[in-house]
Structure 1
Amino acid sequence: MDLAGPGRDDQVGGKSPYPEEFGKDAVALYRAAAGKRTYAAVAADLGITAESLRTWVRKDENQAVSGRRDAGGEVDEPARLRAENARLLKAEKEWRLEREILPRAAAHFAREVK
């Protein structure tokens, strides 16, 4: 399948039209919101699509998780552990929020059923 054929957007599968530094700044801005703003809200402020921002955030997360590699191709253990710790802390935060919200939601629906 030829993705670069007639009628296809030149950006599909190509290099981003934005400088790499802009992408890093966009990711930093999204993370600074600490979950209080959506991809769409941050992206709208920057004049980009939410999907572009989401892609940059995922790429940054994947790079952090994979860790840095030394000259021998081995993963830098402290970098890998820091990334794993960050992932676990984020998951714990989400679980705590769920534990906080779910009982209230259940109570709300229980009242509506009566």
Structure 2
Amino acid sequence: MTSRRAPQGIFAADVRVFRLYPDGTVLDVLVKPAPGPAEAALIATWLVPDPLPAGVHATRYTRDGRHIGFSTRDRIHGTDVEVTGTYRGDALLLDLRSPGRTLRQVRFRRLWPAAR
């Protein structure tokens, strides 16, 4: 089933966290230790676009049906990361490509808001 709603919420895969807004804004940050649902409400209080916290990268996503894409930065290696994949309500299934490294079908589960 194709979602007509824009993806929104906080999604995490290990220590990488994305916050997506319906207007196309993406916030990208590393959170250690890897967060789970218990930490999501607290993350929502500081992972905001204005003012942008130190260590957070802001970008914009494009969307075509369930497919999304955006570019972000690998803060460890200082390279661009191309992110493409699909959105299915409670999860993002993404490929992350940077020079010399590709991660395929990484599942980012939605931590916040909780599924209704």
Shared fold (TM-score greater than 0.5)?
no
Return the structure number with greater strand share: 2
Decide which structure has the larger Cα Rg and report it: 1
TM-score, scaled to structure 1? 0.25
**Using CA pairs below 8 Å that are at least 6 residues apart, which structure has the higher relative contact order?**
2
Return the structure number with greater helix share: 1
